[in-house]
Amino acid sequence: MRSNIRRIGVAWAALAGALAAQGQPDNMRLELANLRQDVMLLTQRVGELSMTVEQLTRDNQALQAKTGETYVTLEQFNRAIGDINRTMQGALADQKRETLNQVGTQLERLARQTQAAIDAVAKNQATRPAVQTSFSDNFPKEGINYTVQAGDTLAVIARKNNAKVQDIINANKISDPGRIQVGQTLFIPQGK
């Protein structure tokens, strides 16, 4: 019986480790830690009960040796031990079922949250403007180099340098105009 409870404890520890590795929410880790503690306490309690049964067996044998009378037959004792084992196994099965239900519910909730996050990312991708993949060579070939400053956009840079936004995009082959970076050097076509 102790080995069964230890196996359950080891299984819970493995499950808790696997869920922690997946970055589970803190409340789920706390619940798993509480369940692990319950299994450890249950294991300890079974050990205490086993020691009590052993002590009762020794006491019974000592009394039998002193008086020669049998207070409990071996069959009655074995029946009582069997009843205790069945009760413990039933309690462990109930606790396991309850724990699995809780874990299942939490996994379903996590799956819904993950799906909602995936849907949000997909929605954001769908609303992004199309990325330009072809560029015209129809822009002035003379110009200056410009280093992007904080707060700059292509429109601001074009205005500062008396240039056209589309000429800057074509000259630098900028596929996403919203993604210029501070410190980036751009060729600014001028003239025409």
The phi, psi pair for 49, rounded to 5°, reads: -65, -40
Architecture of domain 143-189: Roll (3.10)
pLDDT at 131: 64
Can you tell me the mean pLDDT for 58-63? 86
In this predicted model, what pLDDT tens digit does every residue of 91-131 receive, in sequence order?
999 999 999 999 999 999 999 999 999 988 888 776 666 66
Can you tell me the mean pLDDT for 36-61? 88
Mean pLDDT of the chain: 83
Can you tell me the mean pLDDT for 49-71? 81
Would you kindly state where each structural domain of the chain is located, as residue ranges?
2-127, 143-189
Name every residue whose Cβ is closer than 8 Å to that of residue 190 and which is 6 or more positions away in sequence. 140, 142, 143, 144, 161, 162, 163
pLDDT at 112: 94
Answer with the residue of higher pLDDT: 19 or 155: 155
Pairing of strands 185-189, 143-147: antiparallel
pLDDT at 106: 94
Can you tell me the mean pLDDT for 158-169? 92
The span from the CA of 143 to the CA of 85, in Å, is 89
pLDDT band, very low/low/confident/very high, at 29 (cuts 50, 70, 90) = confident
Name every residue whose Cβ is closer than 8 Å to that of residue 176 and which is 6 or more positions away in sequence. 129, 131, 132
The yes-or-no verdict on residue 20 having pLDDT over 60 is: no
In this predicted model, what pLDDT tens digit does every residue of 32-46 receive, in sequence order?
788 888 888 888 888
The span from the CA of 31 to the CA of 85, in Å, is 27
The yes-or-no verdict on residue 9 having pLDDT over 80 is: no
Q: Helices 74-127 and 2-21 meet at what angle, rounded to 10?
A: 10
pLDDT band, very low/low/confident/very high, at 192 (cuts 50, 70, 90) = low
pLDDT at 101: 92
The yes-or-no verdict on residue 16 having pLDDT over 60 is: no
The CA–CA distances, whole Å, from 18 to 31, 38, 88 equal: 14, 19, 28
pLDDT at 32: 79
pLDDT at 113: 94
In this predicted model, what pLDDT tens digit does every residue of 138-162 receive, in sequence order?
889 899 999 999 999 999 999 999 9
